[in-house]
Amino acid sequence: MTIFDKPFTQQEPIDEATIARVGDILRTGRLHRYNTVPGEVSEAAALEAEYAKWQGADYALACASGGYALAVALKAAGLKVGDPVLANAYTLAPVPGAIHNAGGVPVFVEIDEEWHIDIADLEAKAASSGAKFLMLSHMRGHIADMDAVGDICERYGITMVEDCAHTMGAHWRGKRSGNFGHVAAFSLQTYKHINTGEGGLLTTNDPQIAARATIMSGSYMLYGSHGAGPDEAAFDGIRTATPNYSGRMDNLRAAIARGQLVGLDEKVERWNRLYRALDTGLRKSNAITTPVRRDHEHYVGSSLQFRPALDASQFPDFITACAKRGVDVKWFGANKPTAFTSRYDSWEYLGEPQDLPQTRNVLSNTCDIRVPLTFDEADCAVIGSIIVDECSRATGHV
Report the pLDDT averaged over residues 177-203. Answer: 98
Q: pLDDT band for position 396 (50/70/90)?
A: confident
Q: Is residue 350 part of a domain?
A: yes
50 close to 42: Cβ distance less than 8 angstroms: no
Q: Could you tell me if residue 316 is inside a domain?
A: yes
Asked if the structure places residue 293 within a domain, the reply is yes
CATH number, domain of 342, equals: 3.90.1150.10
Residue 397 clears pLDDT 80, i.e. is over it = no
pTM above 0.85, yes or no: yes
Q: Does residue 7 sit within a domain? A: no
Q: With respect to residue 299, please indicate whether it lies within any of the assigned structural domains.
A: yes
pLDDT tens readout for residues 43-53 = 999 999 999 99
Q: Whose CA is closest to 133, among 90, 61, 101, 181?
A: 181
Closest Cα partner for 201 from 169, 165, 252, 231?
A: 165
Query: Residue 194 domain-assigned?
Result: yes
Q: Taking Cα atoms as reference points, which of 289, 309, 300 lies closest to residue 370? A: 300
Among the candidates 230, 261, 292, a domain finishes at 261
**68-115 pLDDT per residue, tens:** 999 999 999 999 999 999 999 999 999 999 999 999 999 999 999 999
In a shared domain, residues 280 and 255: no
- State the total domains in the chain: 2
Does one domain contain both 234 and 301? no
| Same-domain pairing of 73 and 213 | yes
**Of the candidates 213, 237, 261, which is a domain's last residue?**
261
Q: Nearest-CA neighbor of 275 among 369, 362, 190, 191?
A: 369
The helix/strand count (H/E) of the chain reads as 12, 14
Q: What is the mean pLDDT of residues 170-195?
A: 98
Rg (CA), the chain: 21
Point out the domain boundary residue: 203, 227, 261: 261
- pLDDT (0 to 100) of residue 340: 87
CATH code for the domain in which residue 60 is found: 3.40.640.10
Kindly report, residue by residue over 104-154, the tens digit of the pLDDT: 999 999 999 999 999 999 999 999 999 999 999 999 999 999 999 999 999
Q: Is the pLDDT of residue 34 over 80?
A: yes
Question: What are the angstrom distances between the C-alpha of 217 and each of 73, 150, 230, 374?
Answer: 10, 28, 14, 34
Residue 303 belongs to a domain: yes
Same domain, 89 and 35: yes
The DSSP secondary-structure symbol of 346 reads G
Q: Are residues 351 and 218 in the same domain?
A: no
Q: Are residues 316 and 257 in the same domain?
A: no
With cut-offs at 50, 70 and 90, classify the pLDDT of residue 398.
low
In a shared domain, residues 85 and 231: yes
The whole-angstrom separation of Cα 150 and Cα 382 is 40
Q: Using CA atoms, how far apart are residues 378 and 183, in angstroms rounded to an integer?
A: 39
216: left (phi over 0), alpha (psi -120 to 50) or beta: alpha
Task: Based on the fold, state whether residues 185 and 248 are members of the same structural domain.
Answer: yes
Give domain status of residue 3, yes or no.
Answer: no
Q: Verify that 276 and 155 share a domain, yes or no.
A: no
Task: Answer yes or no: are the C-beta atoms of 119 and 367 closer than 8 Å.
Answer: no
- Mean predicted confidence (pLDDT) in 37-47: 97
385 and 244 part of one domain: no
Q: Say whether both 95 and 167 belong to one domain.
A: yes
Q: Virtual CA dihedral for 366, 367, 372, 373, nearest 10 degrees?
A: -70
In our burial notation (b when 16+ CB lie closer than 10 A, e otherwise), range 2-37 reads eebeeebeeeeebeeebeebbeebeeeebeebbebe
Residue 136 shares a structural domain with residue 35? yes
Domain extent, residue 387, equals 264-395
